[in-house]
Amino acid sequence: MSGAKRDFLAIADFSAEELWRMLRRAMDLKRQWQQDGMNPPLLAGKSLGMVFQKPSLRTRVSFEMAMQHLGGYAFYLGPQEIGLGKREAISDVARVLAGYVDAIMARVFDHEHVLELARWADVPVINGLSDYNHPCQAMADMLTMYEHFGRLKGLRITFVGDGNNVAVSLMHAAAKLGAHFTWVGPQGYEPPADAVAQARAFAEASGSTIALLHDPAEAVADADVIYTDTWVSMGQEEEAQKRMRVFPPYQVNAALLAKAKPTTIVMHCLPAHRGYEITDEVMDGPQSVVFQQAHNRLHAQKGILVEVFGV
C-alpha cells in the first residue's frame, strides 16, 4: 500500500499483520451474518465500480453481495462500457471513474492494466484478478483453511498444476502467514521466478518453506491441503492442445488423494473442468471443501473492502 490510499493489488504488498487484520474482520463479519442475517452498514453510501475484461461468477456476485451486506452498492462495467487501453486510455478511465465512485474493482487480462488504474485513480483499486495474481482468491483460501484447521502456521499446502496467477497469490499468502507451500507440475510450467524469489524471502521471515517439485506423489504425501486449478486459463486457449498432453499426470483424482493423509482437504478456485484437473469423485467427495471455499469469497472480500475503505 502507498500513502493514504489503500489499494489491494497483490498479497505481496501487505504484511502478515495486515493480512491477519483482514482475515479476522472477514471472520467476524461472516459470524455476524450467519447469526443475525445482517451486517452493520459499514459502507453506507459507498459505491464500488466493477470493471470486467474477463467474465466471472464468483468475483461479480461476491463483490456485489459483500457491498450490499455492508450497506453500500456495486455495479458492473463490462468490456462494452469500458475497453481498457483500447476504446480509451487507462489513465483517462481511472480519472473519470474515480470521480463517480468511491472504489474500483478490476478483473483484467494484463496485470499492468490494474497497476495503471491504481496509479491514476485517487480512489482505492482492488485487483479482482490479473494474469499475474489473484489476491482476493488467496484471502478466501486462507480463510477456508483457517476455519478447517484452526491455524495457518505450519500447514502444508500443495498446489498441483500450472504455476498460474492463483498459484502465485496462494504461494505468497502461505509464505507471509507461515504455511509451507509446495508447487508440483510439469517442467516449464512453474510459477514465475520473480514470484518464487519473493515467496522465499517471505518464507524466510515467517519460518515456512517453498518447494517446486515434479513428482505429484511426493508432493502430496505430507500435504494438509491439495489445491488445483484449470490447466488452461483464459487467454491461453492457443496452448490448450499442448497443455492437455502434458498435464494429465497431475490430475487430482482418487489415486493421488490416496497418497495423502486421510485428513487432507481438497481445494479448487473454480470454475473446474471436471474430468481434467480434478475428478467428480474427489470434487464431490468428503475431503473436498471447494464450495465452502467459493462461499468464502463473499466473506473474505468484506474484510478486504473494509480495509480499503478504512472503516
134 belongs to the catalytic site: yes
Q: What is the pTM of this model?
A: 0.96
Q: Which one is catalytic: 25, 60, 69, 134?
A: 134
CA 1, CA 14: separation in Å to the nearest integer?
Answer: 7
How much is the average pLDDT of 128-147?
98
The CATH 3.40.50.1370 domain(s) of the chain lie at 11-134+297-309, 137-294
CA 75, CA 63: separation in Å to the nearest integer?
Answer: 9
Residue 210 scores a pLDDT above 50: yes
Question: Which residues, 6 or more positions from 280, have their beta carbon under 8 angstroms from its beta carbon?
Answer: 274
pLDDT given for residue 85 in this prediction = 67
pLDDT digits (tens, 9 = 90+) for 225-262: 999 999 987 667 778 899 999 999 999 999 999 999 99
pLDDT given for residue 152 in this prediction = 98
Residue 193 scores a pLDDT above 60: yes
Residue 3 scores a pLDDT above 70: no
- CA-to-CA separations, 53 to 10, 100, 194, in angstroms, rounded: 18, 20, 25
Q: What is the mean pLDDT of the chain?
A: 95
The β-bridge partners of 202 are none
The strands making up 103-107's β-sheet, listed across from edge to edge, are 73-77, 47-52, 103-107, 125-129
Closest listed residue to residue 138, CA positions, set 9, 231, 31, 50: 9
25 belongs to the catalytic site: no
Exposed/middle/buried for residue 1 (C-beta within 10 Å: 0-12, 13-18, 19+): middle
Split at pLDDT 50, 70, 90, the class of 68 is very high
Q: Which one is catalytic: 156, 162, 268, 269?
A: 269
Q: Are 311 and 289 in contact (CB under 8 A)?
A: no
Chain centre to alpha carbon of residue 304: 12
Q: Which one is catalytic: 60, 107, 156, 172?
A: 107
Helix then strand count (H, E) for the chain reads 12, 9
Q: Which one is catalytic: 7, 131, 162, 229?
A: 229
Q: Which fold has domain 11-134+297-309?
A: Rossmann fold (3.40.50)
pLDDT digits (tens, 9 = 90+) for 105-129: 999 999 999 999 999 999 999 999 9
CATH number, domain 137-294:
3.40.50.1370
* CA distance from start to end of the chain: 16
297 belongs to the catalytic site: yes
CA 195, CA 185: separation in Å to the nearest integer?
Answer: 16
How much is the average pLDDT of 11-34?
98
How much is the average pLDDT of 63-92?
90
DSSP secondary structure string for all residues of 87-104 = TB-HHHHHHHHHTT-SEE
Q: Which one is catalytic: 53, 137, 198, 301?
A: 137
Biggest CA–CA distance in the chain, Å, is 54
